Amino acid sequence: MALFGLDAGGNSAYVQAAGNGTLAAPYILQHDLLPAAIKSAQLSSTSGTTVISGVASTKLRVLNAVVTATSGGTVQFLSGASGVTLTPAFPIVSSGQLIFGNALGVMETSVGEGLRTVVSSGINYQVLITYREVAV
């Protein structure tokens, strides 16, 4: 449920409400400018793998990503089974790192698909992702 009104500063704002108003699931109000329902995932691998599993009728919007490499190589992010390319193949040197993010999102999977990596052979890497599930 979303309500339109004014915030405490008199600015136009949408207020999001989650829950159904019962004791077990009370309404939880959230201003639209504040982060809500942010999740995270992490992995350590030497091969391409699924970072986040897909959710039916949902896109995964990645907000931040940190990739570190114990041994150098390339890391690329793709959308699940369709293989839609979400990023270029980022080169990461041995003991190097790649950090990128944006509060509005830096990449988004196709509907119902997870986020996966494709890597060059010989790389030993670690990934930390923060993301939101966006219903469509």
Do 117 and 100 lie in one domain? The reply is yes
> Tell me, what CATH number does 117's domain have?
2.60.120
Same domain flag for 53 and 81: yes
Report d(CA 114, CA 108) in Å as an integer.
Answer: 10
At residue 37, the pLDDT reads 78
What is the domain range of residue 106?
39-135
Exposed / middle / buried, residue 90 (Cβ in 10 Å: 0-12, 13-18, 19+): middle
My answer on whether 79 and 14 are in the same domain is: no
Per the model's pLDDT, the better-predicted residue between 84 and 39 turns out to be 84
Residues 58 and 124 in one domain: yes
Distance CA 128, CA 40 (A): 7
CA distance 133 to 121: 31
Looking at the fold, whether 127 and 78 belong to one and the same domain comes out as: yes
Provide the token pair at 115: 């986020």
User: For residue 5, what are its two tokens?
Assistant: 């009104």
Q: Provide, rounded to the nearest whole percent, the portion of the chain with pLDDT above 70.
A: 76
